[in-house]
Amino acid sequence: MTAPSIRNVSEREARQVAEAAREQDWRKPSFAKELFLGRFRLDLIHPHPTPAADDVRRGEKFLATLREFCETEVDGARIEREGRIPDETVNGLKELGALGMKIDPKYGGLGLTQVYYNRALALAGSASPAIGALLSAHQSIGVPQPLKLFGTQEQKETFLPRLARTDISAFLLTEPDVGSDPARLATSAVRDGDDYVLDGVKLWTTNGVVADLLVVMARVPASEATETSKASKGGITAFVVEADSPGITVENRNAFMGLRGLENGVTRFHRVRVPAANRIGPEGAGLKIALTTLNTGRLSLPAMCAGTGKWCLKIAREWSGAREQWGRPIARHEAVGAKISFIAATTFALEAVVDLASQMADENRNDIRIEAALAKLYGSEMGWRIADELVQIRGGRGFETADSLAARGERAVPAEQALRDMRINRIFEGSTEIMHLLIAREAVDAHLSVAGDLIDPDKSLADKGRAAAKAGGFYARWLPRLVAGPGQLPRTYQEFGELASHLRYVERTSRKLARSTFYAMSRWQAKMETKQGFLGRIVDIGAELFAMSAACVRAEHLRMTGDHGREAHQLADAFCRQARIRVEELFGRLWTNTDELDRKVVAGVLGGSYTWLEEGVIDPSGDGPWIADAAPGPSLKDNARRPIT
């Protein structure tokens, strides 16, 4: 096999590809965008939006059916033990209509709202995280959502009925040498008459081992105009591909530390012919389609994180009440009690964030791209901490497997499995580090739109002059508003009772956050994009403020509807007090940190200055390249594809 086909691109080209895929305009208001600009638009989220009665009826009916199925037909321990979801379980989910939760009823789907889709994922994921991942990959980022948003009527009529009832889908973007930098994408799609011919290798294809339909991102080369066709700029393009097409080989079913039932693999395309009619959108629109799909698709992960939080709270409550040490239940010891309080308060906040963002997505009144990204970032980070705290509360039993516990006569609590399963959420569908950069880019969009040319080295003096005039007008209006606001008035938001002080804090702190961002842009200008530590802390502060807002609004909504209102207020109060401590720590670290020293240490590590520190151990790693060969060509391996029967 020849050497790997790798696209070598410059840092500038990589940024340009990512920037071109962004949604450039803000046609609708965004609570989170305003928050980063120092404007606390409580009116955008309060009163808490509520679903329509018919949506509630249909959603609750399906949840009841799904719960019964999960309780009677899903054996989570077996899935973990065998590393595979049994075919009969998948077929049972198909019969329930679980593959079509988000597909319109006219195509055979259930047509659930985002709110109830997320609740269904949380429920199914609590029975088996592998099932939650299968359903989410199929509907949140698989073929149905891109077709719903960008597909032709013919494509919808052809594929959606299959996807609603029988066919499993997968999303194929990542490659062995391509993670969050799509400019390096090497899989090609060359036009040949009425078809495209696909060649390349895709990695970490969730559902790819069992999928029937694939949405594949491939690069179409630019072409000149001919007598029969127009010129094309080409670019990354999305295609619907039949998984059993000649030339497709699933070369490996990957295994992971968690989600052991995940059907995730490596898929090779060798001269695979795909009808041009299966192209989603125009050539070059693939990355934009992928990112737009993820705007709401990202909500599935925090939904399942919230579900894990609920389970962790249940186990923590039951165990810490029954386990006694030094004459009292361990929950009564402050060291353990603090962990239980964190789990309870944070689970309440995670559910508040997911429900609020989901309902906003259903209403389609607001642009929720930042809210969804914050939900994913915050849910995955805090969900991991919740699972880790449960393992600590359980002690040695938290480190012991459920099977081992059962073998010696104790309750089979899979706490260590929860920790392993939760770890991936901080990585896939945008790692925490990438989410920091993505959200930071959106958070400073207003600044770049008025002052971006000032810091662009390629702009002319005339362009910079026009940008300076534009920026002067914007900042003359914006900066004075950051000095004072309703958060400084003692009676503001008093309808929230004891939670009013937290909302006042959010309002004041959002202005402080905006001032900090402006100061940093003024100080570093074009170097701002390299200050990833600073940007990450800015985003983390915004995430805490968004979660505080969502928790307060949800608690007040529950109080107004008479549904555990007093208890909800108590949880929201606890969460906000915990969050405020984290926010103040993050603000302190904006300007007092080791970022510069860290860069020097990294240079030393990469330069070999500290190799002496690595002595005295044995590296148990095997041989082989860091990145597998991804050169195009025929597969040399057996096909590991496993259709569900």
The set of catalytic residues is 429
Between CA 94 and CA 114 the distance in angstroms is: 19
Between CA 116 and CA 113 the distance in angstroms is: 5
String of DSSP letters for 536-576: HHHHHHHHHHHHHHHHHHHHHHHHHHTSSHHHHHHHHHHHH
Continuous H helices in 479-626? 500-524, 532-561, 565-591, 595-606
Phi-psi region of 168 (alpha: psi -120 to 50; beta: other; left: phi over 0): beta
List beta partners, residue 238.
217, 280
Between CA 261 and CA 86 the distance in angstroms is: 9
Between CA 12 and CA 90 the distance in angstroms is: 45
Return the structure tokens found at 35.
Answer: 């928050």
Phi-psi region of 271 (alpha: psi -120 to 50; beta: other; left: phi over 0): left
Return the structure tokens found at 388.
Answer: 């880790």
Return the structure tokens found at 297.
Answer: 């698709």
Is the N-terminal amide bond of 47 cis, ω within 30° of 0? yes
223 by Cβ neighbours in 10 Å (0-12 / 13-18 / 19+) ranks as: middle
φ, ψ at 252 (rounded to 5°): -160, 140
How does strand 235-242 pair with strand 248-253?
unpaired
Chain centroid, CA 396 distance in Å? 32
Residue pointed to by tokens 């307060």: 552
> Measuring CA to CA, which residue among 385, 317, 315, 320 is closest to residue 349?
385
Residue pointed to by tokens 């695979």: 272
Phi-psi region of 234 (alpha: psi -120 to 50; beta: other; left: phi over 0): left
Return the structure tokens found at 418.
Answer: 């929860």
Name the CA dihedral angle for 495, 498, 499, 502, rounded to a multiple of 10 degrees. 120
Between CA 446 and CA 34 the distance in angstroms is: 10
CB atoms within 10 A of CB 213: 23
Between CA 164 and CA 168 the distance in angstroms is: 9
